Amino acid sequence: MADFPSWRECKDGTILFVTDKDAIENNIDFFDACGHIAISKVYPNSKGKDMVGFRDCPDVIWEAIYSGKCDQMMAHSSLLDFRESDIRSLNLPYKIRGNIELRDCNFKGAILPTIIDGNIDVSGHKLKGVILPEKVGGCIFFVGCDMKGVTLPKEVGGSVYLEKCKNYKHLLKLKRYDFRMK
């Protein structure tokens, strides 16, 4: 598993990356398709600077993501790090096998995964109106969030971190969660 998106920026400005179709055509397992090794398999003679993450993601990759050409790779990524990104209209895959990072990200209106096997970090947000996943296999980090009107997932495998949160007292009545304040 690797972080998504990964790409190679060639000296001539060409951006090389792998889509779901590329992974299938080159017989690359989706768990391995997100990283630079997969780029080397699909583009064996390519050279350039290896890059990763949504913060500096080129438009050509965003276009592939929004058109659904990378859904399986996003679902199998070890980390989807959307920090400082704008994903307001993005429909994320139903299930994410890794972790998802949404700190300092504009995700209002995005459709979040229903199931996340790893952790989710939504720290620093007002969450009213945000539909959180139904199941989180790891921890949820709400550090510094306004919890007014928030409904927690039905299942959380790890702890629920509420450090520096506002309007969270209604949640403490829910005994099935392991709440952490620090």
Provide the token pair at 80. 């989807």
Query: pLDDT tens digits for 51-99?
Result: 988 888 899 999 999 899 999 988 888 888 888 777 877 888 889 888 9
pLDDT score at 112 = 85
pTM: 0.81
Query: pLDDT tens digits for 126-178?
Result: 777 778 899 999 999 999 988 888 888 999 999 999 999 988 888 888 888 88
Query: pLDDT tens digits for 16-31?
Result: 999 999 999 999 988 7
| CA gap 74, 86 in Å, rounded | 16
Q: Is 81 helix (H, G, I), strand (E, B) or coil?
A: strand
Pairing outcome for strands 159-161 and 155-156: unpaired
Q: Is 149 helix (H, G, I), strand (E, B) or coil?
A: coil
Please, which residues bridge with residue 9 across strands? 15, 49
